[in-house]
Structure 1
Amino acid sequence: MKTKAVRLYGAKDLRLEEFELPKIKQDEILVKIITDSVCMSSYKATILGENHKRVPKDIGENPIIMGHEFSGIIVEVGKVWQHQFKPGDKFAIQPALNYKGSMASPGYSYKNFGGACTYAIIPPEVMELGCLLPYKGEAFYEASLAEPMSCVIGAFHANYHTVTGKYEHVMGIVEGGNMALLAGCGPMGLGAIDYILHCDKRPRLLVVTDINEERIARAQTVFSKEEAKKNGIELIFVNTKNIENPSEYLRELTENEGYHDVFVYAPIQEVVEDGDKILARDGCLNFFAGPTDSNFSAQMNFYNVHYAATHVAGTSGGNTDDMKESLEMSARQAINPAVMITHIGGLNAAADTTLNLPNIPGGKKLIYTHIDMELTAIEEFANKAKIDGDPFFTEMAKIIKRHNGLWSLEAEKYLLENYKKTI
């Protein structure tokens, strides 16, 4: 079985290549990858190469397949797992394996296992850990985005609060409390808003900040105040770019009570420090954004730590239960991960997209691994149809419009059934 894959050979050295996969062993599973969404973590691995903590030192001779937010269809099952899986099953992957203390993970560490490819071999440790997850939904992109959504969900589960006079931590956000998402109109922030509006424990007030008016406008289009109100939440978007004292302004929105839960979605010192300043008593600041600088730091008010019980949490990915929650909520349409997607492309676009990810505006970049398509913003489909006169993009633009400017199951089906240029 031949596969085409984007492989990492060293820092900034990504190559799209075709090579032969070995025949699967009795404890392995062969899969066809359909979708792989590009993560900022993949960019970090690409920039660092063998200096990344999950990437092997010998990638120059034994390159690894990129991509860890992927889904597809099972093609062949080794004898060991035939009682549990069968060809034709759809799947999602929990990439945070942590197998026997190893940091090995798909998209960082494996020669034949990753998402930026047409076919891959799943090694036995994935099944042993229960990280090959059956997917009962229809849209492949939802299964791919279950991984980033699980990171969002895991962060909410990791927040905690204290009980006065007792040495107890109550896990999760404060129900009916005040919550702020700082720098929250990027893809992960949008996923967080979707989850907050539809999960079982919700705040009373949700304030989302950003400094980009276009991102805020798109978020307001996707998440209306009316929808939030139906779910018992007052939703406020704030552009802090020209506000002289953002923390003071944000506190005023709570009548100076402060925020019980603050999530920081950008590794920027000033944003982190504003998050600390707006905490209420027993407030939890969740530093969600992963910095590339190992010495990244920010000031925190330790007077408030001592007397007001403010505290910090942080997570790096979700666990398998978070993935299952994401898949279950997507399957019953309680959340719509499509809110994160702004660009579509084929496997031919995956390498350049990964290398230039910080410079490409918008949200999640979704790769369909069996097609050949330049990375294209969803909002550009209509212009592309006018310029090229391509009936495919003409119809795609109509589909996107029908779904409030979002990617959808209808769009995915039309792409897979009608796009003729394959990789």
Structure 2
Amino acid sequence: MTNHSEYKQVNTPNWTWNMYGPGLDNIGKDGHPESINVPTPNDDQLLVRVDGVGLCFSDVKLIKQGGSHPKLYNRDLKKEPGRLGHEAVLTILEVGDKLQDQFSAGERYAVQPDIYQNGMSTAYGYTIPGGLIQYHLIGKEMMETDHGVCLLKVPETMGIAEAALLEPWGCVWASYTQRRRLDPKEGGTLWLIGQPSLERTYQFSKGLDAAGTIILTDAPAEIKALAEKTGKTVVERNGLTVADYDALAKEFTDGKGFDDIVLLEPKSAEQVTEVARLIARRGTLNMVGTSKLDGPVNTDVGRLHYDYIAFIGNNGTDISDSYGEARNRCDLHKGGTAVFVGAGGPMGQMHVQRAIEMVNGPKRVIVTDINDERLEEVTSRLKPLTEANGRELLSFNPMTSDIALTDYVMQLTDGAGADDIVVCVPNGQIMEDSAKMSAPDGMLVFFAGVPNGTLAKIDLSSVYLNNMQLTGTSGLTIHDQTMVMENTLAGNLAPAVCVAAIGGMNVARDGIEAMMDSKYPGKIVIFPQIMDLPLMGLDELQEKLPDVAKHLGSGNVWTKEAEKALLKHFEAA
């Protein structure tokens, strides 16, 4: 074993907040953390010290459901406790003999918690007990995964809070990277639906031969001929009604849905609604037409977020023109107007900050929330960045305004609508309303997740007539965290701007409750190695810890210098 020189295991307590069931009362023992033994690593394990943990609102579902949470697989938490804290940064203290060539004592790592093993989600902070502990072991559960080692090495020059927040920032970053599949799937099942009579002649210049099976329903003769030339399995099922669609999906996909669906000259919102239900996970619905649908489509916004289904289209005659990343953007429009719905929360603030700091990002940024204090906090905290980057930052509270948000956006844009709308509120109705203010070629990002099956009435005509983009993401990869780290080190991003409150190990559960109650307008960071640091907002530091407060940035922004002063203060204490 190798040991970190600053670490002394003898008589070192190891405080932890174990979780024994649903509800806040089941976090810890009688409202307090427990002291357990510091574990000894095996040859294929690491002993790590937890330096910082960001508290995340996504834990609320876990707190409410306990062992019945989908990622805990009906685990009996009384017998096998869990532990929250997936936004964690760790320092290696001891390295097992088999890992000597990969790791060294003293190295610092950020956790990539979205872990899969053999296709099964085993996320850190969920299935794998998380970071609300002072010392724990890391082994095969995090190093032998479907995507390799789920640890990202961070330099000593990066602050603890910055490193801990690479995870939520990685989720934000991921929402502007292409998660959708945008071309016909190799070997997949493609279903093309025409109409009994079509006035235009269609092409399918590329991509049709990727499919393994091609099913044709009322397809024009020229498309049928192209399908037969591919040499793939071609099946005709003509004269179908929407009542027949489920049986077709069961026959050819065992009910899992079609990998790719092409719909020519759609006119009926009911037909599009029923067809869209049959898109497979990561599947595409390509609509090609020139006429507006007869109404909005009941769109499963949960599947857009969690299943990465793609709605694409065009109004020309080449079906292939709908595919590919060149036509289907996933990042914010250069010089445009971006609206962030529900921007007062910690994750919403991160989206806004990214937009402001983004090179060639939107010129005008509109933040919305139903709480004036949160809006004021967002605008004041981000004012220095806004001015430095030459952007315009506007705020809107729909609860206190005499006009609707859609009308406000339309007035600001002379009726054009917003180029980008990012929804950070898990509410289907809000998602539906947000789609109504999209400009031509606009993008609607569903960052907040709602359950699959949550329907919103959206005019999908805009997808093929105006190239509207509908995107959503869930989770992140270590690549996303790496991109955030690299941009931070390059000075393009300041992750710690979103920190609103700090606390030590004794108040971690209080921090969780404060996060659930939205007490602080930003992220709460817990420093597990500091036992007696009270839970406090950064605006309280001037009174309670003036030697730390003097190192805050403009607008009471958390900095590495403030963090050093904090550690020094409690080290001296």
Give, in angstroms, the shift of residue 162 of structure 1: 6.2
The correspondence for 1:246, drawn from 399, 405, 419, is 405
Q: Supply the distance in 2 between the matched residues of 1:318 and 1:232 (Cα, whole angstroms).
A: 30
1:47 and 2:48 are equivalent in the alignment? no
The correspondence for 2:133, drawn from 114, 117, 134, is 117
Deviations 1:357-407 (A, max 9, x none): 221422111100012223111112234x3xxxxxxx13223333x543111
- SS in structure 1 of the partner of residue 344 of structure 2: coil
Q: Supply the distance in 2 between the matched residues of 1:32 and 1:156 (Cα, whole angstroms).
A: 33
Q: Supply the distance in 2 between the matched residues of 1:181 and 1:339 (Cα, whole angstroms).
A: 18
- Whether the 8 Å contact between 1:179 and 1:205 is mirrored in structure 2 is yes
- Whether the 8 Å contact between 2:53 and 2:528 is mirrored in structure 1 is yes
Higher relative CO (Cα under 8 Å, sequence separation at least 6) belongs to: 1
Gaps of 5+ in 1: 386-392
> Who is 2:101 aligned against?
83
- SS in structure 2 of the partner of residue 318 of structure 1: coil
- Whether the 8 Å contact between 1:114 and 1:120 is mirrored in structure 2 is no
Report sequence identity in percent. Answer: 29
> Who is 2:143 aligned against?
127
> Who is 1:382 aligned against?
542
Deviations 1:31-53 (A, max 9, x none): 11110010011222111101111
Tell me which moved more, 180-189 or 160-169.
160-169
1:351 and 2:351 are equivalent in the alignment? no
> Who is 1:390 aligned against?
none
Pick closer, same or farther for the CA change 1:30–1:221 going to 2, 3 Å: same
Give, in angstroms, the shift of residue 227 of structure 1: 4.7
- Whether the 8 Å contact between 2:339 and 2:365 is mirrored in structure 1 is yes
Equivalence map 1:331-370=2 (5 Å):
331-361=489-519, 362-370=521-529
1:417 and 2:568 are equivalent in the alignment? yes
- Whether the 8 Å contact between 1:159 and 1:286 is mirrored in structure 2 is no
Deviations 1:82-104 (A, max 9, x none): 21210011111110111221211
Q: Supply the distance in 1 between the matched residues of 2:124 and 2:102 (Cα, whole angstroms).
A: 21
Give, in angstroms, the shift of residue 196 of structure 1: 1.9
Give, in angstroms, the shift of residue 117 of structure 1: 0.8
Q: Supply the distance in 1 between the matched residues of 2:44 and 2:359 (Cα, whole angstroms).
A: 39
Give, in angstroms, the shift of residue 203 of structure 1: 2.5
Pick closer, same or farther for the CA change 1:343–1:104 going to 2, 3 Å: same
Normalising by structure 2, what TM-score?
0.66
> Who is 1:98 aligned against?
116
Letter in 2 for 1:44: K
The correspondence for 2:355, drawn from 196, 210, 214, is 196
Equivalence map 1:10-409=2 (5 Å):
10-12=21-23, 13-15=26-28, 16-56=33-73, 57-110=75-128, 113-128=129-144, 129-136=148-155, 137-158=157-178, 164=314, 165=316, 166-170=321-325, 171-173=329-331, 174-224=333-383, 227-228=385-386, 231=389, 233-243=391-401, 244-291=403-450, 296-305=454-463, 307-361=465-519, 362-371=521-530, 372-383=532-543, 385=544, 393-400=545-552, 402-409=553-560
Tell me which moved more, 151-160 or 141-150.
151-160
- Whether the 8 Å contact between 2:39 and 2:47 is mirrored in structure 1 is no
Structure of higher CA gyration radius: 2
- SS in structure 1 of the partner of residue 176 of structure 2: helix
- Whether the 8 Å contact between 2:335 and 2:362 is mirrored in structure 1 is yes
Letter in 2 for 1:242: T
Give, in angstroms, the shift of residue 356 of structure 1: 4.8
Give, in angstroms, the shift of residue 10 of structure 1: 0.7
Deviations 1:24-70 (A, max 9, x none): 12222111111001001122211110111112412210102210001
- SS in structure 2 of the partner of residue 399 of structure 1: coil
Q: Supply the distance in 2 between the matched residues of 1:10 and 1:261 (Cα, whole angstroms).
A: 41
Give, in angstroms, the shift of residue 294 of structure 1: 6.5
Pick closer, same or farther for the CA change 1:53–1:303 going to 2, 3 Å: same
- Whether the 8 Å contact between 1:35 and 1:369 is mirrored in structure 2 is yes
Give, in angstroms, the shift of residue 308 of structure 1: 3.6
Letter in 2 for 1:9: Y
- Whether the 8 Å contact between 1:71 and 1:143 is mirrored in structure 2 is yes
Which structure features the higher share of helix residues? 1
- Whether the 8 Å contact between 2:510 and 2:535 is mirrored in structure 1 is no
Q: Supply the distance in 2 between the matched residues of 1:233 and 1:397 (Cα, whole angstroms).
A: 28
Q: Supply the distance in 1 between the matched residues of 2:387 and 2:160 (Cα, whole angstroms).
A: 31
Give, in angstroms, the shift of residue 314 of structure 1: 1.4
Q: Supply the distance in 2 between the matched residues of 1:294 and 1:7 (Cα, whole angstroms).
A: 30
- Whether the 8 Å contact between 2:46 and 2:92 is mirrored in structure 1 is yes
Pick closer, same or farther for the CA change 1:229–1:359 going to 2, 3 Å: closer
Q: Supply the distance in 2 between the matched residues of 1:333 and 1:61 (Cα, whole angstroms).
A: 46
Q: Supply the distance in 1 between the matched residues of 2:470 and 2:85 (Cα, whole angstroms).
A: 30
Give, in angstroms, the shift of residue 353 of structure 1: 2.4
- Whether the 8 Å contact between 2:330 and 2:471 is mirrored in structure 1 is no
Q: Supply the distance in 2 between the matched residues of 1:186 and 1:80 (Cα, whole angstroms).
A: 43
> Who is 1:3 aligned against?
14
Give, in angstroms, the shift of residue 211 of structure 1: 2.5
Letter in 1 for 2:442: G
Q: Supply the distance in 2 between the matched residues of 1:421 and 1:351 (Cα, whole angstroms).
A: 25
- Whether the 8 Å contact between 2:179 and 2:473 is mirrored in structure 1 is no
Q: Supply the distance in 1 between the matched residues of 2:426 and 2:172 (Cα, whole angstroms).
A: 16
Q: Supply the distance in 1 between the matched residues of 2:541 and 2:489 (Cα, whole angstroms).
A: 27
- SS in structure 2 of the partner of residue 189 of structure 1: helix
Q: Supply the distance in 2 between the matched residues of 1:36 and 1:415 (Cα, whole angstroms).
A: 15
Q: Supply the distance in 2 between the matched residues of 1:189 and 1:215 (Cα, whole angstroms).
A: 11
Pick closer, same or farther for the CA change 1:176–1:233 going to 2, 3 Å: same
Q: Supply the distance in 2 between the matched residues of 1:145 and 1:288 (Cα, whole angstroms).
A: 17
Deviations 1:102-134 (A, max 9, x none): 211111112xx4211101211224234132111
Normalising by structure 1, what TM-score?
0.88
- Whether the 8 Å contact between 2:312 and 2:463 is mirrored in structure 1 is no
